[in-house]
Amino acid sequence: MHTMERKTPKALRRLALGLALLGLAGCYPPSALEMDYGNSVRSNFAQQVVNPKAGFKAKPAVGLAPQAAANEQDKYDKSFKAEDKKSLEMKLLNQ
């Protein structure tokens, strides 16, 4: 009976501590990501106000020519391949 009386106040203290910590967590300042919420929507809304008929133009967005884009993609893919030691040494010596 003596141990039962001591366990109850400990459990209540732990519960109170948990609730206090939970309450303090609500006071934590917002992160950078949370502060940025809604900016994309506001930006899109502002762009529609500036030019409301932009979506009706038949002219596509301008980009790279297909062959140039394929070449850039090949360069990008090759940048991840491991180089052999000789070519790496040559690059270091040439610098």
Cβ-based neighbours of 63, under 8 Å, separated by 6 or more: 69
pLDDT in tens, the chain (95 residues): 555 556 678 888 999 999 998 888 878 888 888 888 889 889 888 888 888 887 787 777 678 888 999 999 999 888 877 666 667 677 777 76
Give ∠ CA 5-6-10 in degrees, rounded to 5: 125
Q: What pLDDT does residue 5 have?
A: 59
Q: What is the dihedral of CA 36, 40, 41, 45, to 10 degrees?
A: 130
Cα–Cα distance between 70 and 64 in angstroms, integer?
9
Q: What pLDDT does residue 67 have?
A: 93
Q: What pLDDT does residue 93 have?
A: 76
